[in-house]
Structure 1
Amino acid sequence: MSENSLTSSSLPPPRKPVLPDFQQRYELLVASISDYAIYMLDTEGYVSSWNAGAERFKGYKAHEIMGHHFSRFYTEEDRAAGLPARALAAARDEGRFEGEGWRVRNDGTRFWASVVIDPIRNGAGELLGFAKITRDITDRRAAQEALRQSEQHFRLLVQGVTDYAIYMLSPQGEITNWNVGAQRIKGYSQEEVLGSHFRRFFTDEDRAAGTPERALETAAREGRYESEGWRMRRDGTRFFAHAVIDAIHDEQRTLIGFAKITRDVTEQRATAASLEQTRNALFQAQKMEAIGQLTGGVAHDFNNLLAVLSSGVDIMHAQQPGPTTLRVLDSMRRAIDRGALLTQQLLSFARQQPLSAALHQANALIGSFEQVLRRASGPQVSFIFDLAPRLASIVVDEARFEATLLNLVVNARDAMPAGGTLTLETRNVRLAENEVGTLPVGEYVRVTVRDTGTGMTPEVLMRAFEPFFTTKPVGKGTGLGLSQVYGFITQSGGDVQIRTELDKGTAISVFLPAQQGGIEEAPEAKPHAERVLVVEDDQLVMAVACDLFETMGYDVLSAPDGVAALRLLEQHGTIDTGVDVLFTDLMMPNGLTGLELARIVRERWPGIKIIIASGYPQQALQGEPADLRDFDFVGKPYRLADLARHLRAAG
């Protein structure tokens, strides 16, 4: 037996249905429906049938409503507006009317209804009436309204936030909405960013590194991505941002986008950095104070021991010993003297050396010590003096200040074993609170020694001022140079700052309090220049030239070659360099002659008077490709009268 025959035999046998006619069946169907109000209207809108659902929704029995106009279900406002008539007209003319609105029950209460009205026509197309279906959707509308209000409140909340940029991204990273905070922080209006990729807010470096894409991948994989970094505003400026990206999924866990929240934390970061800097400065000051106290105590005790040894050597000398003993005593005396010098250095670091402080002009001290500093810098170093013309006075011990400069210059020279440029600069500065160490707000004189040498690592920088710490080979340094600088400057009421970058050089600046009323006034106006730049590669010749110009009352800048001279002029400004006279040797190293330097200066700074000097007579130089007659020329050796005459001619 087949499967079909088995299945068929298990079914009840068919029989002829016994049902009412079509009209009866329709009436029974409509009458049994209770979830919808289904009733008929005649062509004028009067109720001609009524089902159980209509009675349940509207509260009317059939005998109470039959023959009444359906407009009684509308609110007074809708009846006054003619809505019932328009609904019938729309159904008649357009074949259907559909809408939602408030309707009124028999007891006067209202419910929100979904209404459909269809016209009923006979075979000839003649209108017989209308079929009206109404459903009570008050609960659904209430839920929708609650959802709408919730969404509106959320939008208002998001749009009201101005301290955070809150916006949505598509799964691909395109911006789909934008709040007021985003516009305030990033500078873009909503119209400018919608549809664009959020990578536009990242820096060029981050975009090249794929940071935006990696952020979305992480958020999609892990549900969240959090980071901090530099972001770009519309005007091209940067701000430091804290950003969070959250993945958004639908009910089927399909990724539909990302929520992104960004906050500008630039000020907080700067405040935290300032606080950390202050803490580090305080820690460094406390550490150096502790080391100083320990060092001072050790040096004091060591001095006592040296005094005993020194007295013993003197006593033994007085006993007229033999030649061998004398040689031993001489060696001991030299050792004692070296020990005494060492203890003086230690006491200087510990700020326990008495100072002979007096009011001085830093430029004057540097000028009188310039030749020593130049000799200490060595022949391979290009030494530039960049001294501010109106420098405040300072209270310092002259000898210790010179020792400080010498220590800094020697350190800078040693950091440039293959040669380089060393600059000694003076400036008037105003410091904010804790801008340098723990110095209070006020006016200071800053003296900076800057080199183009090897620089320091962060580890070396942290220990640079510690006594006996040195990176030099054994026998090349005691490690007391910078410690002496630190001790003397802090004992004088100032502080020391080091700025360094590995393989790019170091700048060590000492800050000393400026003295009120101690400003060095600029010289009175002269018929000639106020400042001269002397360019000469021979140190002795340069010294003589500088002395001659200073004798005539000029402020003097100096450079060892043409390249250094141009660098110095550029540092003073692109239009007004503050230099009135260029006095340059003709033959110089580094590939730039005095004549070439003069031409560049005349083209870029036409207001500078130029004098060229040479050991050759001018007549012997006429064969040069360039004609020296364009510039004033002085032959070597020159005297004060010669310079004065040529300065008048150049003017």
Structure 2
Amino acid sequence: MLSAEGEVVSWNAGAERFKGYTPDEIIGTHFSAFYTPEDRASGLPQRALHAARTTGKFEDEGWRVRKDGSLFWASVVIDPIFGADDVLLGYTKITRDITEKRRTLEALHASEERFRLLVQSVTDYAIYMLSPDGLITNWNEGARRIKRLDLAQVEGSHFSRFYTEEDKRKRMPEKALWAAEHEGRYETEGWRVRGDGATFWAHVVIDPVYDSARQLIGFAKITRDISERREAAITLERTREALAQSQKLEAIGKLTGGIAHDFNNLLSVICNGIDLMRATSAESVQHRKILDSMERAAQRGAALTGQLLAFARQQPLTLELLDLSQVIASFEAVLRRAIPSAATFVIRKAPIGKVRTDVSQFESALLNLVINSRDALPDGGAITLETRQVELGDNEVGQLPGGSYALVSVSDNGTGMPPEVAARALEPFFTTKPVGKGTGLGLSQVYGLMQQSGGHVMIASTPGQGTCMSLYFPAETGEGGVEPAASGLEKALIVDDQPDVLDMTVALFQSLGYEAIAANSGAEAIGLLAQHHDIKVLFTDVVMPDMNGVALAQAARQLLPHLNILLTSGYMGAALREQFGEGLAQFDLVTKPYRLADVAKRLRTFSA
């Protein structure tokens, strides 16, 4: 009990245990003795009594002081005592020591704060809470980054706003919450919508959240943007399919090439026999007709084996630097004659630069494609021949490296092909045409041409909608098909332990405008570098018996610090890194077999 002035007038055993004072020590002392100096200075004890007297009760929590000076966290209740005529007689004061409770709450608060900071600091995952009805109640930094919206823009709105219209029509958001609540977890992948309307491929997990009484109080939702991972997986699968198709056609090509060579030998005997028969026998009209028929059949057989060899990439091509737009223009009349009047033929030409290919084989391939489109239009339709230049990324089309390509496409709106037919269309002798209407070698010849030209043929077809055949040729730049890497006769040192490879590479560098010096070992190369300090480029094989190319490059760099160095090898980069370690990473590497354009492109970076 306190007097009306706040002095202690009674003291129980609990007060003695909490505060440490005996009744004799404390009765008559003002109760402010239990307050900290800071609270006394601020007038808190007086305000407490005033509040109790005027409002009927004072409640508070705060630090209080024991006799020994130690502090404890107290819960305090002060009630006024009034006598007759509302005369204030004093106060009752109840104090509880709740230090442990406060410490527990502080620890819980600290834990919650650490968890909040942890969740907020996560930027790769959108982590947020939903009410039982699916309304957004909080929002972390990852959610702001991935969804591109602040908490103020989403708080209280339904999480279905991030679903596509199609998924909302299917009631996917409601199904997700139902599954999370009744199955304990919901996990899926699918398209989601950002705040700016853009879509991304998301991995989503929704977990139900319950209180201590097992009542559902909401959902925890974690969303991850895995668009890049999905694109990488699609690219990998596309590459695997392209590789499998390439390996399949390669195997067929080897078999086909062998058969074609054997048939050429047989046809040579037949043709020579026909010539002998003409020279040694008296020809009647009937006899001459028979020989003529035999000769025509033998010539058709020779043409077929030529197409087989083109598919097998064993038909020697005359690779020339060609402007395909000009080739198409001069060949247009032939193409138009192949198309019936019921079909329309449109040519759309855009500048595509020059490519290296065989002009006669290209014309034959183009005619094959146009005839195939014509045959896919039994009731008439439209055929379009288009040329344009495109930029491709690595493996975007087949297994072609990234760069500039000249695209020639022939498309129609005809019958189209189902996927299983399109997958086999390039195989020799595969045809969907009736017997006698096609040999099945037209597209095989196109495939062989593109392989030998360093390009790729791509088929896009839909049954009932039509087919588009696309030919991708590596674009050449500069005079002679490749932009010269050097002006004047800069010196290049070529090193390879294989004489035939060395000779060919020397010729390649000479065609690029270099004065090429050859060495067939690392030791010989070091001697030449010591003699010729004006060598600008070192082009060396990596795997050589006496001194490997990495060691040679390092020694050459010490000898000529400003030397441009380009390594080459038939081994893949991973195998080389395992063998040569970090030393390999110091230099540029081009893998064998390389094309003229590959080397020229690397050399241009040295002079850039």
TM superposition score category, shorter chain reference? 0.7 to 0.9
Which residue matches 2:126?
165
Counterpart of 1:505 (choices 466, 473, 478) is 466
1:213 corresponds to 2:174 = yes
1:421 corresponds to 2:366 = no
1:204 corresponds to 2:151 = no
Counterpart of 1:443 (choices 404, 410, 430) is 404
Counterpart of 2:224 (choices 263, 275, 285) is 263
1: CA distance, partners of 2:470 / 2:327:
16
2: CA distance, partners of 1:454 / 1:243:
42
1: CA distance, partners of 2:124 / 2:340:
58
Range moving further from structure 2, 411-420 or 306-315: 306-315
User: Given that residues 321 and 480 in structure 2 are in contact (C-alpha distance below 8 angstroms), is that contact kept between their aligned partners in structure 1?
Assistant: no
In structure 2, give the amino acid aligned to 1:354.
P
SS at match of 1:156: helix
Counterpart of 1:153 (choices 105, 114, 120) is 114
Query: CA 1:66/1:245 → structure 2, altered by over 3 Å: closer, same or farther?
Result: same
Structure 1 residue 90: Cα displacement? 0.9
Counterpart of 2:207 (choices 246, 262, 267) is 246
User: Given that residues 392 and 519 in structure 1 are in contact (C-alpha distance below 8 angstroms), is that contact kept between their aligned partners in structure 2?
Assistant: no
1:74 corresponds to 2:74 = no
1: CA distance, partners of 2:84 / 2:375:
114
Structure 1 residue 316: Cα displacement? 6.2
User: Given that residues 391 and 519 in structure 1 are in contact (C-alpha distance below 8 angstroms), is that contact kept between their aligned partners in structure 2?
Assistant: no
TM superposition score normalised by structure 2 = 0.74
Counterpart of 1:359 (choices 321, 327, 330) is 321
**TM-superposition CA deviations, 1:339-369 (whole Å, max 9, x none):** 3222111101011111123232212211221
Which residue matches 1:384?
346
Structure 1 residue 309: Cα displacement? 4.3
1: CA distance, partners of 2:213 / 2:375:
70
Structure 1 residue 77: Cα displacement? 1.3
User: Given that residues 393 and 519 in structure 1 are in contact (C-alpha distance below 8 angstroms), is that contact kept between their aligned partners in structure 2?
Assistant: no
1: CA distance, partners of 2:149 / 2:477:
50
Which residue matches 1:346?
308
For 1:367-382, list aligned pairs within 5 A. 367-382=329-344
In structure 2, give the amino acid aligned to 1:286.
Q
1:194 corresponds to 2:155 = yes
Structure 1 residue 455: Cα displacement? 2.6
Structure 1 residue 515: Cα displacement? 2.9
Structure 1 residue 299: Cα displacement? 1.3
Structure 1 residue 111: Cα displacement? 1.0
**TM-superposition CA deviations, 1:14-64 (whole Å, max 9, x none):** xxxxxxxxxxxxxxxxxxxxxxxxxx1111111111111111111111222
SS at match of 1:57: helix
Range moving further from structure 2, 488-497 or 403-412: 488-497
Which residue matches 1:600?
none
Structure 1 residue 276: Cα displacement? 2.7
**TM-superposition CA deviations, 1:221-268 (whole Å, max 9, x none):** 111111111111122111111111111122232222111111111222
In structure 2, give the amino acid aligned to 1:431.
L
Structure 1 residue 274: Cα displacement? 2.4
SS at match of 2:388: strand
2: CA distance, partners of 1:364 / 1:325:
46
In structure 1, give the amino acid aligned to 2:308.
L
Counterpart of 1:103 (choices 61, 64, 72) is 64
Range moving further from structure 2, 316-325 or 373-382: 316-325
Which residue matches 1:517?
478
In structure 2, give the amino acid aligned to 1:210.
R
Structure 1 residue 311: Cα displacement? 4.6
Larger Rg computed on CA atoms: 1
1:487 corresponds to 2:448 = yes
Query: CA 1:299/1:333 → structure 2, altered by over 3 Å: closer, same or farther?
Result: same
1: CA distance, partners of 2:294 / 2:104:
103
Range moving further from structure 2, 402-411 or 261-270: 261-270
Range moving further from structure 2, 264-273 or 404-413: 264-273
Structure 1 residue 190: Cα displacement? 1.2
For 1:16-165, list aligned pairs within 5 A. 40-165=1-126
**TM-superposition CA deviations, 1:97-116 (whole Å, max 9, x none):** 00000111122211111000
Structure 1 residue 163: Cα displacement? 1.6
1: CA distance, partners of 2:440 / 2:178:
53
Range moving further from structure 2, 179-188 or 436-445: 436-445
SS at match of 2:385: strand
Structure 1 residue 338: Cα displacement? 3.3
Counterpart of 1:337 (choices 294, 299, 316) is 299
SS at match of 1:466: coil
**TM-superposition CA deviations, 1:501-536 (whole Å, max 9, x none):** 33322221112233323699xxxxxxxxxxxxxxxx
**TM-superposition CA deviations, 1:351-399 (whole Å, max 9, x none):** 11111232322122112211221121222211001112x4412232221
Structure 1 residue 479: Cα displacement? 1.8
**Percent identity of paired positions between Structure 1 and Structure 2:** 60
User: Given that residues 455 and 505 in structure 1 are in contact (C-alpha distance below 8 angstroms), is that contact kept between their aligned partners in structure 2?
Assistant: yes
Query: CA 1:342/1:292 → structure 2, altered by over 3 Å: closer, same or farther?
Result: same
1: CA distance, partners of 2:170 / 2:379:
37
In structure 1, give the amino acid aligned to 2:312.
A
| Residue ranges of structure 1 left out of the alignment (5+ in a row) | 1-39, 521-651
SS at match of 1:503: coil
For 1:229-308, list aligned pairs within 5 A. 229-308=190-269
SS at match of 2:84: coil
Which residue matches 1:185?
146
**TM-superposition CA deviations, 1:63-83 (whole Å, max 9, x none):** 221111111111111111111
**TM-superposition CA deviations, 1:461-511 (whole Å, max 9, x none):** 322211122233333322211111010121122221223333322221112
1: CA distance, partners of 2:15 / 2:432:
100
- How many aligned positions are there? 480
User: Given that residues 393 and 518 in structure 1 are in contact (C-alpha distance below 8 angstroms), is that contact kept between their aligned partners in structure 2?
Assistant: no
2: CA distance, partners of 1:392 / 1:414:
31
User: Given that residues 352 and 407 in structure 2 are in contact (C-alpha distance below 8 angstroms), is that contact kept between their aligned partners in structure 1?
Assistant: no
1: CA distance, partners of 2:369 / 2:79:
101
Structure 1 residue 327: Cα displacement? 7.8
User: Given that residues 454 and 502 in structure 1 are in contact (C-alpha distance below 8 angstroms), is that contact kept between their aligned partners in structure 2?
Assistant: yes
| Residue ranges of structure 2 left out of the alignment (5+ in a row) | 482-608
User: Given that residues 425 and 443 in structure 2 are in contact (C-alpha distance below 8 angstroms), is that contact kept between their aligned partners in structure 1?
Assistant: yes
